[in-house]
Amino acid sequence: MNLPNKLTILRVILIPVFVVFMLVPQIPYNNYIAVAVFSIACITDSLDGHLARKYNLVTNFGKFMDPLADKLLVGAALICFVSLPELHFPAWIAIVIISREFAISGFRLVASDNGIVIAASYWGKFKTVFQMIMSILLIVHFPWDFVFYVEQFFIYASLILTVISLVDYIVKNKDVLKEKK
């Protein structure tokens, strides 16, 4: 197994560790440890893709597991945010974001069945960056009014970018959905 795939597996292993530190307030400094674990997972996401492309280590396992690991990490974080009332994270936003991830996964599956690879778009990359910033802010969560408004900005910006990136994928790749004759 190559290094990029090991980093992807590490990201999956870090998810339950992250969840424990997010949801067990009795652990001293739990939110700081959770943000460190989440940040490491985010770094492995960037690093595994970079290494795979740079050193020609792209594998079918990586093509499948890398986006799945991302979706698992984001989904776990969103569910944690909804379950913590002090974060004021609306469940419907988590549903929209997670639904988008499932929709894009399905879309990519249909495309791959037709021999088409759909690369990540700039909108998708912006969405990911905003979701990561939003997540880090919510994990640390300083209970100050100013920070609350910054958190809310990133929550709704992430939501908007999630919808825009979904529409962008569908519009740019609408031919994938057409039935072959």
pLDDT at 114: 79
pLDDT at 59: 87
Name the CATH superfamily for 3-174: CDP-alcohol phosphotransferase transmembrane (TM) domain (1.20.120.1760)
Q: Domain boundaries in the chain?
A: 3-174
113-143 pLDDT, tens digit each: 777 777 778 998 899 999 999 999 999 998 8
pLDDT at 179: 66
Average pLDDT over residues 42-64: 90
61-86 pLDDT, tens digit each: 888 888 889 999 999 999 999 999 99
In whole angstroms, what is the distance from residue 110 CA to residue 177 CA? 8
CB 136 within 8 A of CB 74: no
Write the CA distances from 78 to 18, 55, 84, integer angstroms. 12, 33, 10
139-170 pLDDT, tens digit each: 999 889 999 999 999 999 999 999 999 999 98
CB 18 within 8 A of CB 77: yes
Flag whether pLDDT at 16 surpasses 90. yes
Q: What is the pTM of this model?
A: 0.90
In whole angstroms, what is the distance from residue 68 CA to residue 132 CA? 16
Residue 181 — pLDDT band, cuts 50, 70, 90? Answer: low
Burial class (CB within 10 angstroms; exposed 0-12, middle 13-18, buried 19+) of 21:
buried
